[in-house]
Amino acid sequence: MSKPAENKLWGGRFTGAIDPLMQLYNDSLPYDKVMYQADIEGTKAYTSATAKVGILTADEVKEIHRGLDIIADEWKNGTFEIQKNDEDIHTANERRLGEIIGKDIAGKVHTGRSRNDQVATDMRLYVRDQLHEIRSQLLALLNVLVSRAKNEIDVLMPGYTHLQRAQPIRWSHLLLSYATYLADDLQRLDELLARVNRSPLGAGALAGNAFGVDREQIAKDLGFQSVLPNSLMAVGDRDFVVEILFWDSLVMNHISRLSEDFIIYSSAEFGFLKLSDAYSTGSSLMPQKKNSDSLELLRGKSGRTFGQLAGFMMTLKAVPSTYDKDLQEDKEPMFDSLVTTSHSIQIATGVISTLEINQKKMQQALTMDMLATDLADYLVRKGVPFRETHHISGEAVRLAEELNLEGIHQLTMDQFLGIDSRFSPDVMDVFDFEESIERRCSTGGTSRSAVLAQIDAFEKLFAKY
Question: Per-residue pLDDT averaged across 285-309, rounded?
Answer: 88
Tens digits of per-residue pLDDT, 27-44? Answer: 899 999 999 999 999 999
The answer to whether the CB of 66 falls within 8 A of the CB of 101 is yes
Known catalytic membership, residue 283: yes
For residue 181, which of 454, 387, 446 has the smallest C-alpha distance?
Answer: 454
pLDDT of the residue at 290: 78
Q: What is the DSSP string of 10-41?
A: TGGG--SBPPHHHHHHH--HHHHGGGHHHHHH
Task: Name the DSSP letter for residue 266.
Answer: T
pLDDT of the residue at 21: 87
Burial class (CB in 10 A: 0-12, 13-18, 19+), 404: exposed
Q: Write down the mean pLDDT value for the chain.
A: 94
Q: Which of residues 3 and 40 earns the better pLDDT score?
A: 40
Percent of all residues in the chain with a pLDDT value above 70, rounded to a whole number: 95
Tens digits of per-residue pLDDT, 398-434? Answer: 999 999 998 899 999 999 999 999 999 999 999 999 9
Task: Give the whole-angstrom CA distance, residue 253 versus residue 242.
Answer: 16
pLDDT of the residue at 10: 47
Residue 149 pLDDT greater than 90, yes or no: yes
Task: Give the whole-angstrom CA distance, residue 430 versus residue 435.
Answer: 8
Q: What is the DSSP string of 100-168?
A: HH-HHHHTTTTTT--HHHHHHHHHHHHHHHHHHHHHHHHHHHHHHHHHHHHHTTT-EEEEEETTEEEEE
Residue 196 pLDDT greater than 90, yes or no: yes
CATH of the domain spanning 11-106: 1.10.275.10
Residue 12 pLDDT greater than 60, yes or no: no
Q: Where are the domains of the chain?
A: 11-106, 115-364, 368-431
The answer to whether the CB of 447 falls within 8 A of the CB of 457 is no
pLDDT of the residue at 52: 97
CA angle 308, 351, 304 (to 5 degrees): 10
Residue 73 pLDDT greater than 60, yes or no: yes
φ, ψ dihedrals at 283, nearest 5°: -95, 145
What's the CATH fold of domain 115-364? Fumarase C; Chain A, domain 2 (1.20.200)
pLDDT of the residue at 9: 56
The reply to whether domains 11-106 and 115-364 share a CATH topology is no
Q: Long-range contacts: 72-76, Cβ < 8 Å, 24+?
A: 72/36, 72/37, 72/40, 75/33, 75/36, 75/37
Known catalytic membership, residue 249: no
Q: Residue 2: pLDDT band by 50, 70, 90 thresholds? A: very low
Task: Give the whole-angstrom CA distance, residue 223 versus residue 82.
Answer: 29
Task: Give the whole-angstrom CA distance, residue 286 versus residue 33.
Answer: 45
User: pTM of this prediction?
Assistant: 0.92
pLDDT of the residue at 396: 93
Q: 368-431, superfamily in CATH?
A: Fumarase/aspartase (C-terminal domain) (1.10.40.30)
pLDDT of the residue at 339: 97
Residue 446 pLDDT greater than 60, yes or no: yes
Q: Catalytic one among 283, 321, 442, 449?
A: 283
Q: Residue 1: pLDDT band by 50, 70, 90 thresholds? A: very low
